[in-house]
Structure 1
Amino acid sequence: MVAKINVGTSLYGALAYNGLKVNEGEGKLLAVNKVFDDGSGRVDIARAVEDFRRYMPENVRTRNKVIHISLNPHPDDRLTDMEMEQLAREYLEKLGYGDQPFLIFKHEDINRHHLHIVSVNVDERGRRLNKDFIHRRSKRITTELERKYGLHPADRRQHRHDNPLRKVDASQGDVKRQVANTAKAVMATYKFQTMGEYRALLSLYNVTVEEARGNVDGREYHGLVYAATDDAGNRVGNPFKASRIGKSVGYEAVLRRFELSKGQIRDKRLADRTRKTVAAALARTYRKEEFIGLLHAKGVDVVFRHTDEGRIYGATFIDHRTGCVLNGSRLGREFSANALQEHFTLPYAGTPPIPFTFTEDTPQADIRSYEEHDEGHSTGLGLLGGDASGAQAQEAAFERDLKRRRKKRRKGLGL
């Protein structure tokens, strides 16, 4: 079980993010302490904020008053709601938050169900709770709980390449919800700069997206249409307009993601790690299937596009370690579709691979993975920061959207 801890200032943001999940049918409220619960299964966000504030004096010197924790059992641990609630309560008790006001939420919007806990970092006198070495203590507690209940051990190495997303399966029904959850998760998690890269990423999870353009009453519009596919990429079922899924996966949101991704990939030099990994795999084989397997073992998927004759005319690399989606040509001429086609064309398969100047990739210190972090702190939600991986990165997107809306309201009031 992996715990992710964040302390911040936004009480409303943390409660709204989790409360909306529950109220929209994508989660459950499992337990509360010192907070009103009407038993309806829904969350009254405004009332919850009021209840929390009753336990926090107005003049509190501690700036980061809110603690937001996610508890993630191993995917192979099949736990009931009651068992998950018990784990959360024991975890809070051992961490020193058992008598604090808190809410325990279960998120069900992805196949890997997990818990979120919102509480406060100060007591009724406004004094800060002991946060010294909280991440170390948390790790010790999760290990104790794993042993006590016979859970699968989970550590940072196991979660480094963990991808909680699963392919959309039309036979399971509720296709629109499956497609919506997948689109929202990849939008909040990955970095891509073109519609082609976005489409290649979605194809890993049996989803496709197409642009829709036209004129209505003389006004030009742009939109997106999503649909489920089978493993061969053939569309199944009816398509869905982005407006039926949510603005967070609409045309304007995708364009903003392009611009944001471009800056992040450039400033943090995120393509370098992918380039080294791809080069190392190419240096080991001329066989395409073996190349795909070598990359997958490193946490990188590749999506090839072929002509009817079977020739490669496009290649996109999805690096789950950094959350980057990159067309081969972005990595260099030697990784373009033409170069790859030539590399994998016989009779080269019987000759030694061409040596590349790149070396085997090694983990980089600035690449954040899905794991327990050090003793650093941040404000707001941001459970996984700017380079978040896994579906919980939606939370960071929610916080950014919340801040934008607050700015708009202040401008409207002339502030």
Structure 2
Amino acid sequence: MVAIIKTSHSINSILNYNENKVKAGKAECLNAVNYPLKLEKLSFNLKLNRFLKLAALNENAKRNSVHISLNFDPSEKYSKEKLIEIADTYMDKIGFGKQPYLVYQHHDAGHPHLHVVTNNIQRDGKRIDLHLLGIRKSEPARKEIEELFGLVKAEGRKTKEQYSLQPIVSRSIEYGKAESKKAINGVLNKVLFEYKYSNLPELNAVLNLYNVHADRGTEDSRVFKNNGLLYKILDKDSKPIGVPIKASDFYNKPTLKFLEEKFKANEIKKQSHKSHLKNTIRLALLDKQLNSPEKLATKLQKEGVHVVLRKSKEGQLYGITYVDHKTQSVFNGSSLGKEFSAKGILESCALNITHQKSILAASETTQNLELQNHLKINTMAVLLQAENTNDHVPKDLKQKKKKRNSRRI
């Protein structure tokens, strides 16, 4: 199970998002907890007012709304009763068991998942601390629930076994329509909240794997000047196609301002994964057959690291980015150190080429020496054979031996 927690200052927008899904037939409200009325008697206003009354008890709280998604493996098909039990157990373990909350089951993704809507203002006006809620409360709760309910564990699974995203197939998208927005949103929901990137190029290194690109536009464009951001679908040649969608049009509002906050937080989070990636690259470079950045990329791919090679129009490599899927961290080569930058990798490949040439030259020298020795041995054998052979003398030149008279006297 994977739990994703988002906070907001507007409970209205969170509730509207889920209720609109219900109206469209893409979701179902499974449970209403700590409400005075049963679920079937709750209208939209009754659901909303319960949260608003609590929020009014503490107007100093800047973020008083919480939106949680609980994501399961595609193989897990649970009954509504079990999903409700899992949600209740999770909310209790993270300290929200006494808060009012609504549980929705969504049906518009490739994996089963729940959405839980609540707030963090308690009856006495005190707020539940949201700082590091994911690390302090959610992660321990997730692990306990996986054991308790026998769920597929989020940790320890191979990347290909996870409910991983598939690249958007451009042919199936109707550009600018709901299908296009839905496809991009599915990618953003996973990448933005699960990967650790610290700038826009690093984010795009991951998004591009799924045929999505975040674009600020040219420096003289209105989008760039207004600090705007567009999301585009890429074709098989990595070229933008269709109608781009503004970041503000998505529910999560993945705007430039939102990303800049992520950049700062992720810069700190991903530092602990630096050594793992550096060691993986160093081990790969021990293979002296790696004589090009492309061969390195192929080898690292087998280790769960995707390598983005940035080249000029002339084909000259000028930048390199590593996407480590095992730790879900993204690093520009130069931030890891000189040896991992584009220049450093080219130098390592050049050394490998020199090494291969020296081996080849040594091999040729050895072969030549062996050939020379072979020729010398053969020559000596011929000479020795010639010395031990009697010269041929014609028969008529041979002197006849005189026969001795053997008669007795």
| TM-score, normalising length: structure 2 | 0.58
Report the alpha carbon displacement of residue 198 of structure 1 after superposing the two structures with TM. 2.6
Report the alpha carbon displacement of residue 237 of structure 1 after superposing the two structures with TM. 1.7
Task: Give the SS at the match of 1:223.
Answer: coil
Does residue 1:328 correspond to 2:333, yes or no?
yes
Match of 1:253 in 2: 258
How big is each residue's C-alpha offset from its partner over 1:92-150, in whole Å with a ceiling of 9 and x where there is no partner?
A: 688998999763322467533322456899xx9xxxxxxxx99999867756755xxxx
Distance 1:41 1:286 in 2: 67
Report the alpha carbon displacement of residue 316 of structure 1 after superposing the two structures with TM. 0.6
The code of the aligned residue for 2:82 comes to L
Distance 1:215 1:293 in 2: 38
- Mapping for residues 136-151 of structure 1, pairs under 5 Å: 142=146
The higher-RCO structure (CA 8 Å, 6+ apart) is: 1
- Mapping for residues 11-410 of structure 1, pairs under 5 Å: 19-23=15-19, 25=21, 28-33=27-32, 35=35, 36=37, 37=39, 45-49=47-51, 71-77=70-76, 79=77, 83-91=78-86, 103-107=102-106, 111-117=110-116, 142=146, 153-154=152-153, 156-158=155-157, 162=162, 164-173=164-173, 174-183=179-188, 185-210=190-215, 211-214=217-220, 220-245=225-250, 248-262=253-267, 264=268, 268-284=271-287, 286-287=289-290, 288=293, 291-308=296-313, 310-344=315-349, 347=353, 350=356
How big is each residue's C-alpha offset from its partner over 1:213-252, in whole Å with a ceiling of 9 and x where there is no partner?
A: 4477xx9534323210123312222223334346832233
Whether the aligned pair in 1 keeps the contact of 2:231 and 2:246 (CA below 8 Å) is: yes
Range with bigger deviation, 200-209 or 237-246: 237-246
Task: Give the SS at the match of 1:157.
Answer: coil
Distance 1:171 1:88 in 2: 35
Whether the aligned pair in 2 keeps the contact of 1:193 and 1:261 (CA below 8 Å) is: yes
Task: Give the SS at the match of 2:213.
Answer: strand
Inter-CA distance 318–117: structure 2 relative to 1 (3 Å threshold)? same
Task: Give the SS at the match of 2:210.
Answer: coil
Inter-CA distance 292–247: structure 2 relative to 1 (3 Å threshold)? same
Provide the aligned C-alpha RMSD in A: 5.1
How big is each residue's C-alpha offset from its partner over 1:267-306, in whole Å with a ceiling of 9 and x where there is no partner?
A: x444333222222222246445663354344443221223
Whether the aligned pair in 2 keeps the contact of 1:285 and 1:291 (CA below 8 Å) is: no
Task: Give the SS at the match of 1:112.
Answer: coil
| TM-score, normalising length: structure 1 | 0.57
Distance 1:273 1:328 in 2: 14
The code of the aligned residue for 2:18 comes to V
Higher helix share: 2
Report the alpha carbon displacement of residue 194 of structure 1 after superposing the two structures with TM. 3.2
Whether the aligned pair in 2 keeps the contact of 1:212 and 1:223 (CA below 8 Å) is: no
Distance 1:242 1:71 in 2: 24
Distance 1:72 1:191 in 2: 19
Report the alpha carbon displacement of residue 31 of structure 1 after superposing the two structures with TM. 0.9
Distance 1:100 1:328 in 2: 46
Q: Unmatched 5+ residue regions in structure 1?
A: 59-65, 125-132, 147-151, 353-415
Whether the aligned pair in 1 keeps the contact of 2:27 and 2:105 (CA below 8 Å) is: yes
Inter-CA distance 154–304: structure 2 relative to 1 (3 Å threshold)? same
How big is each residue's C-alpha offset from its partner over 1:43-89, in whole Å with a ceiling of 9 and x where there is no partner?
A: 864245389x8xxxx9xxxxxxx999865432344x3xxx4423314
